[in-house]
Structure 1
Amino acid sequence: MASFKCLACMTIISLLVSYSFNGCIADPALIDSICRPSVDYAFCISFVGNDPRAPTANLHGLALISISVTAISIQDTQDKIYKLLHQVKDPVTLSRLRRCQSDYNEALSNFQSSFTATSRNSFFEAIDLVRTGTNKVIGCHNRFRRGPGPGPIATSPIDVNDSNIFKLSGIIKIAVDKLIPKK
Structure 2
Amino acid sequence: MTSPINCLSILVIPLLVTSLLYQVSARQKVDEAFLRSVCQKVKDPDFCFSTLKADPRTFAGASLAVVSIAIVIDTIQVAVDQIPGLFRDLSDRVDRIRMENCQRDFNDGLLTLRNAYAASASKNYAQSTSLIIDTINKIGACDNSYKIPPVRKSPIADATTNVLKKCDIAVAAIVTISA
- Give the TM-score range, shorter chain: 0.7 to 0.9
Partner of 2:106: 104
Q: Render the CA deviation track for 1:12-58: whole Å, top value 9, x for unaligned.
A: xxxxxxxxxx8875221111111122111221122222111222336
1:152 has 2:156 as partner = no
- Cα deviation, residue 177, structure 1: 1.1
Aligned length: 154
1:42 to 21, 46, 49: 46
After TM superposition, the runs of 4+ consecutive aligned structure 1 residues lying more than 6 A away are: none
- Cα deviation, residue 92, structure 1: 1.2
Distance in 2, matches of 1:166 and 1:54, equals: 19
CA contact (8 A) 1:25 1:56 kept: no
Q: Structure 2 counterpart of 1:43, which letter?
A: F
Identity of aligned residues (%): 27
CA contact (8 A) 1:26 1:56 kept: no
Distance in 1, matches of 2:151 and 2:74, equals: 29
SS in 2 for 1:26: coil
- Cα deviation, residue 75, structure 1: 0.8
TM-score by length of 2: 0.80
Distance in 2, matches of 1:145 and 1:113, equals: 29
TM-score by length of 1: 0.78
Instruction: Please list every run of 5 or more consecutive structure 2 residues that lacks an aligned counterpart in the other structure.
Output: 1-25
Distance in 1, matches of 2:97 and 2:152, equals: 13
Higher CA-based Rg? 2
Partner of 1:81: 83
Partner of 2:64: 62
- Cα deviation, residue 179, structure 1: 2.4
Flag the 1:93–1:85 CA change in 2: closer, same or farther, 3 A: same
CA contact (8 A) 1:24 1:56 kept: no
Partner of 2:178: 180
Instruction: Please list every run of 5 or more consecutive structure 1 residues that lacks an aligned counterpart in the other structure.
Output: 1-21
CA contact (8 A) 1:110 1:130 kept: yes
Q: Render the CA deviation track for 1:95-119: whole Å, top value 9, x for unaligned.
A: 1000100001110011110000000
1:52 has 2:50 as partner = no
Partner of 1:71: 73
